[in-house]
Amino acid sequence: MNVGIIGQAVGLFAVTNIDDILILSLFFAQGTGRSGSARRIVIGQYVGFAAILAAAVAAAFGATFLPESAVPYLGLLPLALGLKAAWRAWKHRDDEDDPQETTEGGPKALEVAAVTFANGGDNIGVYVPVFATAGVAGMSVYVIVFLALVAVWCLAGRFFATRPVIAKALSRWGHILLPVVLTAIGLLILIEGGAFGL
């Protein structure tokens, strides 16, 4: 493996996915104390990112699954999930801690995957020319490094969500922050992509 390509892959991943650490921290905070939630978040992150990579690799070989004009509409996924989370937070605003709620629930793998894919829709546009010029061997290095870094990102998200100061803030405000962040990401994707003539 070429050390230069590995370094480029690490840099490209970090630059294009820095916002994922905040989203992962919010998901991990939402899943605190709920059995299996960390596993579902990691699985969802991998499924969403694998879909991004599959689309980028296919496009680098000339195949496209989504027309470019459809990519901005991926913003509807985090927007819908943000509105759903806001509704859930509003509905349970006066609830005390419920023992059932603390052992089950939390983010679902498909929700995390949908947010990851929608938030990474613009990454595909960055990855395609890089993959196309890297060739099959170089592309393989990028994919392996990216998949390894997804684990690092998950660990970082969980780390931040479990730091006492951050965990306290996320446990107090996470039910508000998650809907706000998801809704903002959805709107940003829609607006930046010019969906619905915005």
pLDDT at 148: 97
For residue 32, give Cα distances in angstroms to 38, 107, 173, 175.
8, 10, 13, 12
pLDDT in tens, the chain (198 residues): 578 889 999 998 998 888 888 889 889 988 877 888 999 999 999 999 999 999 899 888 876 566 677 767 777 877 887 888 788 778 877 665 444 444 456 789 999 999 899 888 778 878 888 888 888 899 999 999 999 999 999 999 999 888 888 777 776 776 777 788 778 877 887 887 788 876
pLDDT at 112: 93
pLDDT at 104: 53
Q: What are 116-146's pLDDT values in tens digits?
A: 998 887 788 788 888 888 888 999 999 999 9
pLDDT at 46: 97
The long-range contacts involving 39-44, CB below 8 angstroms and separated by at least 24 positions, are 40/106, 40/107, 40/108, 40/109, 40/112, 41/106, 41/107, 41/109, 41/112, 41/154, 41/157, 42/151, 42/154, 43/109, 43/112, 43/113, 44/107, 44/108, 44/109, 44/110, 44/111, 44/112, 44/113, 44/116
Indicate the pTM of the whole model: 0.76
pLDDT at 63: 60
pLDDT at 198: 67
